[in-house]
A and B are shown apart, each in its own frame.
Chain A
Protein backbone atom coordinates (compact mmCIF):
# COMPACT_ATOMS: atom_id res chain seq x y z
CA UNK A 1 0.00 0.00 0.00
CA UNK A 2 2.79 2.46 0.90
CA UNK A 3 3.95 2.25 -2.72
CA UNK A 4 1.00 4.44 -3.60
CA UNK A 5 2.14 7.31 -1.38
CA UNK A 6 4.20 8.93 -4.20
CA UNK A 7 1.11 8.82 -6.44
CA UNK A 8 -0.99 10.52 -3.77
CA UNK A 9 1.71 13.15 -3.28
CA UNK A 10 1.93 13.62 -7.04
CA UNK A 11 -1.82 14.17 -7.30
CA UNK A 12 -1.77 16.66 -4.41
CA UNK A 13 1.20 18.60 -5.85
CA UNK A 14 -0.23 18.56 -9.39
CA UNK A 15 -3.64 19.75 -8.24
CA UNK A 16 -2.13 22.32 -5.89
CA UNK A 17 0.13 23.67 -8.63
CA UNK A 18 -2.84 24.17 -10.92
CA UNK A 19 -4.75 26.07 -8.23
CA UNK A 20 -1.70 28.19 -7.27
CA UNK A 21 -0.93 29.10 -10.88
CA UNK A 22 -4.51 30.17 -11.50
CA UNK A 23 -4.72 32.30 -8.36
CA UNK A 24 -1.29 33.92 -8.79
CA UNK A 25 -2.11 34.62 -12.43
CA UNK A 26 -5.42 36.21 -11.48
CA UNK A 27 -3.69 38.48 -8.93
CA UNK A 28 -0.63 39.43 -10.98
CA UNK A 29 -1.94 39.97 -14.51
CA UNK A 30 -3.46 43.28 -15.63
CA UNK A 31 -7.13 42.94 -16.44
CA UNK A 32 -7.53 44.60 -19.83
CA UNK A 33 -10.29 43.00 -21.87
CA UNK A 34 -10.10 43.18 -25.61
CA UNK A 35 -12.07 41.45 -28.29
CA UNK A 36 -8.99 39.78 -29.75
CA UNK A 37 -8.17 38.18 -26.41
CA UNK A 38 -11.41 36.21 -26.50
CA UNK A 39 -10.90 34.94 -30.03
CA UNK A 40 -9.95 31.30 -30.58
CA UNK A 41 -6.39 31.99 -31.70
CA UNK A 42 -4.14 28.93 -32.01
CA UNK A 43 -7.22 26.72 -31.92
CA UNK A 44 -7.68 26.27 -35.66
CA UNK A 45 -10.42 27.74 -37.77
CA UNK A 46 -13.52 29.24 -36.14
CA UNK A 47 -16.20 26.55 -36.36
CA UNK A 48 -18.68 26.96 -39.20
CA UNK A 49 -21.62 25.17 -37.61
CA UNK A 50 -22.48 23.31 -34.40
CA UNK A 51 -19.48 21.78 -32.66
CA UNK A 52 -21.31 18.67 -31.55
CA UNK A 53 -22.25 17.11 -34.84
CA UNK A 54 -24.31 13.98 -34.99
CA UNK A 55 -22.14 11.02 -35.84
CA UNK A 56 -22.84 8.10 -38.09
CA UNK A 57 -24.46 5.18 -36.28
CA UNK A 58 -21.71 2.86 -37.55
CA UNK A 59 -19.28 4.41 -35.08
CA UNK A 60 -21.51 3.20 -32.26
CA UNK A 61 -21.50 -0.42 -33.45
CA UNK A 62 -17.73 -0.42 -33.84
CA UNK A 63 -17.29 1.14 -30.39
CA UNK A 64 -19.68 -1.36 -28.83
CA UNK A 65 -17.90 -4.32 -30.43
CA UNK A 66 -14.59 -2.85 -29.27
CA UNK A 67 -15.79 -2.60 -25.66
CA UNK A 68 -17.09 -6.19 -25.71
CA UNK A 69 -13.84 -7.65 -26.99
CA UNK A 70 -12.00 -5.35 -24.60
CA UNK A 71 -13.84 -6.99 -21.71
CA UNK A 72 -12.98 -10.40 -23.17
CA UNK A 73 -9.30 -9.44 -22.99
CA UNK A 74 -9.80 -8.38 -19.38
CA UNK A 75 -10.72 -11.99 -18.59
CA UNK A 76 -7.99 -13.40 -20.82
CA UNK A 77 -5.19 -11.66 -18.94
CA UNK A 78 -5.65 -13.19 -15.45
CA UNK A 79 -6.41 -16.51 -17.16
CA UNK A 80 -3.02 -16.45 -18.87
CA UNK A 81 -1.22 -15.42 -15.68
CA UNK A 82 -2.80 -18.11 -13.51
CA UNK A 83 -2.72 -20.78 -16.21
CA UNK A 84 -0.24 -23.02 -14.33
CA UNK A 85 -2.71 -23.22 -11.46
CA UNK A 86 -5.87 -24.05 -13.38
CA UNK A 87 -4.46 -26.21 -16.19
CA UNK A 88 -6.59 -28.11 -18.69
CA UNK A 89 -9.80 -27.25 -16.86
CA UNK A 90 -9.05 -23.59 -17.35
CA UNK A 91 -8.18 -24.12 -21.00
CA UNK A 92 -11.53 -25.80 -21.75
CA UNK A 93 -13.31 -23.13 -19.75
CA UNK A 94 -11.68 -20.33 -21.72
CA UNK A 95 -12.31 -22.08 -25.06
CA UNK A 96 -15.99 -22.26 -24.14
CA UNK A 97 -15.95 -18.58 -23.20
CA UNK A 98 -14.35 -17.57 -26.49
CA UNK A 99 -16.60 -19.84 -28.59
CA UNK A 100 -19.68 -18.17 -27.12
CA UNK A 101 -18.27 -14.76 -28.04
CA UNK A 102 -17.19 -15.92 -31.50
CA UNK A 103 -20.86 -16.67 -32.21
CA UNK A 104 -21.54 -13.01 -31.59
CA UNK A 105 -18.63 -12.04 -33.81
CA UNK A 106 -19.94 -14.18 -36.67
CA UNK A 107 -23.39 -12.73 -36.14
CA UNK A 108 -21.97 -9.21 -36.44
CA UNK A 109 -19.99 -10.24 -39.48
CA UNK A 110 -22.94 -11.92 -41.18
CA UNK A 111 -25.21 -8.95 -40.42
CA UNK A 112 -22.71 -6.70 -42.13
CA UNK A 113 -21.99 -4.69 -38.98
CA UNK A 114 -18.30 -4.68 -39.83
CA UNK A 115 -18.83 -3.34 -43.36
CA UNK A 116 -18.25 0.35 -43.74
CA UNK A 117 -19.68 1.13 -47.14
Chain B
Protein backbone atom coordinates (compact mmCIF):
# COMPACT_ATOMS: atom_id res chain seq x y z
CA UNK B 1 0.00 0.00 0.00
CA UNK B 2 2.75 2.36 1.01
CA UNK B 3 4.64 1.40 -2.14
CA UNK B 4 1.66 2.42 -4.28
CA UNK B 5 1.41 5.77 -2.49
CA UNK B 6 5.11 6.40 -3.03
CA UNK B 7 4.86 5.59 -6.72
CA UNK B 8 1.77 7.72 -7.26
CA UNK B 9 3.42 10.56 -5.37
CA UNK B 10 6.57 10.26 -7.42
CA UNK B 11 4.72 10.30 -10.72
CA UNK B 12 2.55 13.24 -9.70
CA UNK B 13 5.59 15.22 -8.54
CA UNK B 14 7.74 14.20 -11.49
CA UNK B 15 5.12 15.07 -14.10
CA UNK B 16 4.42 18.36 -12.28
CA UNK B 17 8.12 19.22 -12.36
CA UNK B 18 8.53 18.39 -16.05
CA UNK B 19 5.33 20.11 -17.18
CA UNK B 20 6.00 23.19 -15.05
CA UNK B 21 9.53 23.50 -16.40
CA UNK B 22 8.22 23.19 -19.97
CA UNK B 23 5.70 25.94 -19.24
CA UNK B 24 8.49 27.97 -17.68
CA UNK B 25 10.59 28.04 -20.85
CA UNK B 26 7.64 28.69 -23.17
CA UNK B 27 5.91 31.61 -21.38
CA UNK B 28 6.21 35.00 -23.00
CA UNK B 29 5.85 36.93 -19.75
CA UNK B 30 8.99 36.55 -17.62
CA UNK B 31 6.96 36.86 -14.41
CA UNK B 32 4.80 33.91 -15.46
CA UNK B 33 8.00 31.98 -16.19
CA UNK B 34 9.19 32.70 -12.67
CA UNK B 35 5.93 31.43 -11.18
CA UNK B 36 6.16 28.20 -13.17
CA UNK B 37 9.76 27.87 -11.99
CA UNK B 38 8.45 28.19 -8.42
CA UNK B 39 6.13 25.25 -9.04
CA UNK B 40 9.06 23.27 -10.46
CA UNK B 41 11.11 23.97 -7.33
CA UNK B 42 8.29 22.81 -5.08
CA UNK B 43 7.81 19.60 -7.08
CA UNK B 44 11.54 18.88 -6.86
CA UNK B 45 11.41 19.54 -3.11
CA UNK B 46 8.63 16.94 -2.90
CA UNK B 47 10.82 14.42 -4.71
CA UNK B 48 13.63 15.13 -2.23
CA UNK B 49 11.21 14.42 0.63
CA UNK B 50 10.35 11.10 -0.99
CA UNK B 51 14.05 10.27 -1.03
CA UNK B 52 14.16 10.95 2.76
CA UNK B 53 16.37 13.98 2.12
CA UNK B 54 14.30 16.33 4.22
CA UNK B 55 17.07 18.83 4.85
CA UNK B 56 17.73 19.22 1.15
CA UNK B 57 13.99 19.58 0.56
CA UNK B 58 13.83 22.39 3.11
CA UNK B 59 16.86 24.06 1.51
CA UNK B 60 15.28 23.64 -1.91
CA UNK B 61 12.25 25.58 -0.72
CA UNK B 62 14.13 28.21 1.29
CA UNK B 63 17.10 28.93 -0.95
CA UNK B 64 15.72 28.18 -4.41
CA UNK B 65 12.05 29.04 -4.05
CA UNK B 66 12.85 31.87 -1.66
CA UNK B 67 16.15 33.54 -2.39
CA UNK B 68 17.12 32.51 -5.91
CA UNK B 69 13.68 33.18 -7.35
CA UNK B 70 13.80 36.66 -5.82
CA UNK B 71 17.21 37.14 -7.42
CA UNK B 72 15.72 36.16 -10.79
CA UNK B 73 12.90 38.62 -10.23
CA UNK B 74 15.48 41.31 -9.56
CA UNK B 75 17.10 40.52 -12.89
CA UNK B 76 13.70 40.63 -14.61
CA UNK B 77 13.03 44.01 -13.04
CA UNK B 78 16.51 45.30 -13.84
CA UNK B 79 16.40 44.37 -17.49
CA UNK B 80 12.63 44.63 -17.99
CA UNK B 81 12.74 42.27 -20.97
CA UNK B 82 10.06 42.58 -23.59
CA UNK B 83 9.04 39.42 -25.35
CA UNK B 84 9.09 39.48 -29.12
CA UNK B 85 6.97 36.35 -29.37
CA UNK B 86 8.14 32.86 -29.98
CA UNK B 87 11.41 32.27 -31.75
CA UNK B 88 10.90 30.73 -35.18
CA UNK B 89 12.42 27.26 -35.07
CA UNK B 90 13.96 26.21 -38.40
CA UNK B 91 12.89 22.83 -39.81
CA UNK B 92 16.40 21.39 -39.63
CA UNK B 93 16.52 22.15 -35.90
CA UNK B 94 13.33 20.13 -35.40
CA UNK B 95 14.78 17.29 -37.50
CA UNK B 96 17.99 17.43 -35.47
CA UNK B 97 16.01 17.37 -32.23
CA UNK B 98 14.16 14.23 -33.33
CA UNK B 99 17.43 12.51 -34.23
CA UNK B 100 18.95 13.58 -30.91
CA UNK B 101 15.90 12.25 -29.04
CA UNK B 102 16.17 8.87 -30.77
CA UNK B 103 19.88 8.69 -29.95
CA UNK B 104 19.15 9.68 -26.35
CA UNK B 105 16.52 6.97 -25.98
CA UNK B 106 18.93 4.40 -27.42
CA UNK B 107 21.55 5.59 -24.95
CA UNK B 108 19.12 5.24 -22.05
CA UNK B 109 18.07 1.77 -23.20
CA UNK B 110 21.69 0.66 -23.40
CA UNK B 111 22.35 2.05 -19.91
CA UNK B 112 19.27 0.24 -18.57
CA UNK B 113 20.75 -2.99 -19.88
CA UNK B 114 24.03 -2.51 -18.00
CA UNK B 115 22.38 -1.90 -14.64
CA UNK B 116 24.01 1.48 -13.99
CA UNK B 117 20.57 3.10 -13.76
CA UNK B 118 19.34 0.32 -11.51
CA UNK B 119 21.65 1.29 -8.66
CA UNK B 120 20.31 4.82 -8.81
CA UNK B 121 16.71 3.74 -8.33
CA UNK B 122 14.59 5.56 -5.83
CA UNK B 123 15.24 4.36 -2.33
CA UNK B 124 15.40 5.92 1.09
CA UNK B 125 18.71 6.70 2.72
CA UNK B 126 18.34 3.98 5.37
CA UNK B 127 19.54 6.20 8.16
CA UNK B 128 21.40 4.59 11.04
CA UNK B 129 19.41 4.45 14.27
CA UNK B 130 19.42 7.64 16.33
CA UNK B 131 20.93 9.76 13.59
CA UNK B 132 18.86 12.66 12.34
CA UNK B 133 18.68 13.52 8.67
CA UNK B 134 20.74 16.69 8.99
CA UNK B 135 23.33 14.98 11.15
CA UNK B 136 23.81 12.16 8.68
CA UNK B 137 24.09 14.71 5.89
CA UNK B 138 26.71 16.68 7.79
CA UNK B 139 28.73 13.63 8.78
CA UNK B 140 29.06 12.54 5.16
CA UNK B 141 29.45 16.03 3.74
CA UNK B 142 32.38 17.02 5.94
CA UNK B 143 34.33 13.79 5.78
CA UNK B 144 33.71 11.86 2.58
CA UNK B 145 32.85 14.82 0.36
CA UNK B 146 35.32 17.36 1.72
CA UNK B 147 36.74 18.35 -1.67
CA UNK B 148 33.38 19.19 -3.29
CA UNK B 149 32.52 21.15 -0.15
CA UNK B 150 35.66 23.28 -0.33
CA UNK B 151 35.23 23.68 -4.09
CA UNK B 152 31.74 25.04 -3.34
CA UNK B 153 33.32 27.90 -1.40
CA UNK B 154 35.55 28.75 -4.38
CA UNK B 155 32.46 28.63 -6.61
CA UNK B 156 30.61 31.01 -4.31
CA UNK B 157 33.65 33.31 -4.25
CA UNK B 158 33.77 33.35 -8.04
CA UNK B 159 30.03 34.09 -8.19
CA UNK B 160 30.39 36.92 -5.71
CA UNK B 161 33.36 38.55 -7.47
CA UNK B 162 31.71 38.00 -10.85
CA UNK B 163 28.53 39.73 -9.77
CA UNK B 164 30.47 42.71 -8.44
CA UNK B 165 32.68 42.97 -11.53
CA UNK B 166 29.64 42.87 -13.82
CA UNK B 167 27.50 45.23 -11.77
CA UNK B 168 30.10 47.83 -10.74
CA UNK B 169 31.25 50.13 -13.49
CA UNK B 170 34.57 51.32 -11.99
Contact = CB atoms under 8 A, between A and B. Distances in A.
B37 to A, nearest CB: 15
B77 A54 contact: yes
Q: Which 6 A-B pairs have the closest CB atoms?
A: A82-B138, A78-B138, A104-B160, A64-B163, A100-B153, A104-B157
Interface residues of A, number: 50
A77 B138 CA distance: 8
Interface stretch (A30-38, A40-48, A89-97): A89-97
Interface of B: 2, 6, 9, 31, 49-50, 52, 55, 59, 63, 67-68, 70-71, 74-80, 124, 132, 134-139, 141-143, 146, 149-150, 152-154, 156-157, 159-161, 163-164, 167-168, 170
A13 interface: no
Contacts, number: 143
Contact of B149 (A4, A63, A97, A104): A97
A59 B59 contact: no
A4 B76 CA distance: 35
A104 B156 contact: yes
Contacts of A29: none
B80 A1 contact: no
Contact of B164 (A94, A96, A113): A113
Given A4-B49, A60-B78, A86 B138 contact: yes
A60 B162 CA distance: 12
B139 to A, nearest CB: 5
Contacts of B55: 77-78
A114 to B, nearest CB: 10
Interface in A4-19: 4, 8
Contacts of B137: 78, 82
19 contacts: A1-B50, A54-B77, A64-B160, A68-B156, A70-B63, A71-B156, A72-B156, A78-B135, A78-B138, A79-B138, A81-B138, A82-B137, A93-B146, A100-B157, A101-B157, A103-B157, A105-B160, A107-B161, A112-B170
A74 interface: yes
B149 A93 contact: yes
